[in-house]
Amino acid sequence: MPRRRFLGVLGAGGGVAAIAAGLAGFRSSGGAVGEASGGEMADMAHPAAAHPVGATATTAEEMDVHHRGGVEAFERNRVAPITSGIGAVDAAFRMEGGRRVFELTAEATSWEVTAGQRVEALAFNGIVPGPTLRMVEGQPARVVVHNRLDQSTSVHWHGQRVPNAMDGVTYLTQEPIRPGGTFVYDFTPGPSGTHMYHSHYNSTEQVTKGLVGALLVQPADTAAEPAADRDYLFILNDGLGGFTVNGKGFPATPAYAARRGERVRFRFLNYGAMAHPVHLHGLTYEVFARDGYPLPQPFRCDTLTIAPFERWDAIVLADNPGTWAFHCHILSHAEGPEGMFGMFSALHVD
Ligand SMILES: [Cu+2]
């Protein structure tokens, strides 16, 4: 059974498991933005599907083959990525006089969402989601933004209490960063927690096509957050290339792993236009922060709905071994007649 090999590989994971991937010839991923139902929905969610939902041409055997193919591709993706490009990797920075300095370049690029499914993206530093900016509460930061798009742009620091002139809303707080131009954003990060940055110019197009990333602010007092053995990003999107986690659709979605007894932090961020209820099988979320702010009372649940541009932080105590499905529970975002697609991943506990 291939599952054994799959489990072994999973157990070796750590850090942000943005393992990219793709599966040649397996085209059931896709997924489209918008609301639909019935046969129309199935067609949207499975643009490359060989058979429409419920068609007599789709035999039980054929459906099983597709379902199995997806899971096997997800397994392969852990060993060797089946797509090119990994989103949300940590951004490099340099120190200048006590200030953490990052460089972001906005540019059109091609992004592989699942194997063979490429989309025209607008990206920071060539990846979707953009590089993850890690800052420290109270330590000054600078982000130098270069515009190589064929339209203006500006960048907003979503969740940060910055000086107004640094807020990144074109013409409201600054002149646009014109094509070929550069803008220097200076601010002192705060509040701490899980935040975002994104274009605030023509954002329906620019954000939807990828000009968005995570901004993680470490508290000045690290004891202010619950301790965790692992710290993972689970970034939802329903724009570019369909339903995605960390810029990829199943089976190229990231794999998550933990050892039994570990406390695993998940940071959920939603860059899309729809709310997504993310369900984890077999384990329990202990939700402790919303939009970076600690909750007065953490709560437990197993399905957490992330509205557009919200951030939620949860700890999962990995006390139940196994490979647990981890997916959006709007079913048309995650599983169809050809198996899992879109917002589907798994957490392996060994
Ligand atoms: Cu969803």
Nearest to 208 by CA among 270, 295, 264: 270
**Which residue among 190, 223, 256 closes a domain?**
223
Name which residue leads in pLDDT, 145 or 7. 145
Q: Measure 244 CA to ligand 1 centroid, in angstroms.
A: 9
Considering Cα of 109, then 114, then 118, then 121, what sign does the dihedral take?
negative
pTM of the model: 0.84
Q: Measure 343 CA to ligand 1 centroid, in angstroms.
A: 7
Q: Is 342 helix (H, G, I), strand (E, B) or coil?
A: strand
Q: Extract the tokens encoding 1.
A: 């059974």
Q: Measure 275 CA to ligand 1 centroid, in angstroms.
A: 7
Query: What number is the average pLDDT over the span 309-337?
Result: 97
Q: Measure 328 CA to ligand 1 centroid, in angstroms.
A: 5
Contact in structure between 282 and 319 (CB atoms under 8 Å): no
Omega within 30 of 0 (cis) for the link into 140 = no
Query: What number is the average pLDDT over the span 208-234?
Result: 96
Contact in structure between 271 and 282 (CB atoms under 8 Å): no
Q: Measure 97 CA to ligand 1 centroid, in angstroms.
A: 44
Lowest mean pLDDT among 28-32, 284-288, 331-335: 28-32
Answer whether residue 2 shows pLDDT above 60. Answer: no
Please report the pLDDT score of residue 58 as a whole number.
82
Same domain (yes/no): 257, 180: no
How many whole angstroms separate alpha carbon 39 and alpha carbon 46? 10
**Which residue among 223, 253, 272 closes a domain?**
223
Q: Is 191 helix (H, G, I), strand (E, B) or coil?
A: coil
**Which residue among 157, 188, 223 closes a domain?**
223
Give the DSSP H/E element, type plus range, for residue 266.
strand 263-270
Same domain (yes/no): 98, 177: yes
Query: Which one-letter DSSP state was computed for residue 5?
Result: H
Same domain (yes/no): 128, 112: yes
Q: Measure 17 CA to ligand 1 centroid, in angstroms.
A: 20
Tens digit of each residue's pLDDT (9 = 90 or more) over 165-187 = 999 999 999 999 999 999 999 99
Tens digit of each residue's pLDDT (9 = 90 or more) over 145-170 = 999 999 999 999 999 999 999 999 99
The total of structural domains in the chain comes to 2
Same domain (yes/no): 120, 106: yes
Using a 10 angstrom Cβ sphere, with 0-12 exposed, 13-18 middle and 19 or more buried, the burial of residue 92 is exposed
- For the chain, the average pLDDT equals 87
pLDDT band at 321 (very low <50, low <70, confident <90, very high): very high
Same domain (yes/no): 98, 219: yes
How many whole angstroms separate alpha carbon 10 and alpha carbon 326? 14
Domain CATH for 36: 2.60.40.420
Please report the pLDDT score of residue 27 as a whole number.
34
Determine how many CB atoms are found less than 10 A away from the CB of residue 323: 20
Same domain (yes/no): 168, 53: no
* Phi, psi (degrees; rounded to nearest 5) at 67: -60, -45
Same domain (yes/no): 32, 112: no
Q: For residue 302, what are the domain limits? A: 2-84+226-349
Structural domain includes residue 89? no
